């Protein structure tokens, strides 16, 4: 079974702190994704990566950066956390390669609920 793990289930940080959210998958998937989920807004794609050291902006990349130094690990970084980044963050992975990442089912982690105060 594919397993996607996220470093924390719950996280509380202060405004202005640098925050790292870690995601690890154990199935040698090429593609990895970071989403945030907010009531009334659904899931929105922040960044994705289709290979090591490769990254692509999603729909809402502002205020975030990512790092993928190893195939199995994809990190989301909030350079200076703000209260509007309080959200549920979901990591996912999928097989590749291919132009159409929508061709592959995504495996999601359990999520990190981040609160910025």
Partner 1 sequence: SQQGEEDPQALSIQEGENATMNCSYKTSINNLQWYRQNSGRGLVHLILIRSNEREKHSGRLRVTLDTSKKSSSLLITASRAADTASYFCGKGNEKLTFGTGTRLTIIP
Residue 50 CB, shortest distance to partner 1, in Å, is 10
Contact region with partner 1 (CB under 8 A), list: 12-20, 61-69, 71-79, 104-112: 104-112
Q: What is the dihedral of CA 29, 52, 12, 46, to 10 degrees?
A: -80
CB atoms within 10 A of CB 93: 29
42 interacts with partner 1 by CB under 8 A: yes
The only residue of 21, 24, 25, 48 in contact with partner 1, by rule CB under 8 A: 48
Question: Which residue has tokens 């719950």?
Answer: 10
- Of residues 32, 68, 106, 116, which one binds partner 1 by CB under 8 A? 106
Q: Are 40 and 25 in contact (CB under 8 A)?
A: no
> Rounded to 10 degrees, what is the CA torsion of 57, 50, 52, 1?
120
> Footprint of partner 1 on this chain (CB under 8 A)?
4, 33, 35, 40-45, 48, 58-59, 90, 92, 99-103, 105-111, 113
């Amino acid at each position: 079974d594919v397993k996607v793990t996220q470093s924390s289930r719950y996280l509380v940080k202060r405004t202005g702190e640098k925050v790292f959210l870690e995601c690890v998958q154990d199935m040698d998937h090429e593609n990895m994704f970071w989403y945030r989920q907010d009531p009334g807004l659904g899931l929105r794609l922040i960044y994705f990566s289709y290979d090591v050291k490769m990254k692509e902006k999603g729909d809402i990349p502002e205020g975030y950066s990512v790092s993928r130094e190893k195939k199995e690990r994809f990190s989301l970084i909030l350079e200076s956390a703000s209260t509007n980044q309080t959200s549920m963050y979901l990591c996912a992975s999928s097989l590749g390669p291919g132009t159409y990442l929508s061709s592959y089912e995504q495996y999601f982690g359990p999520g990190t609920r981040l609160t910025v105060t």
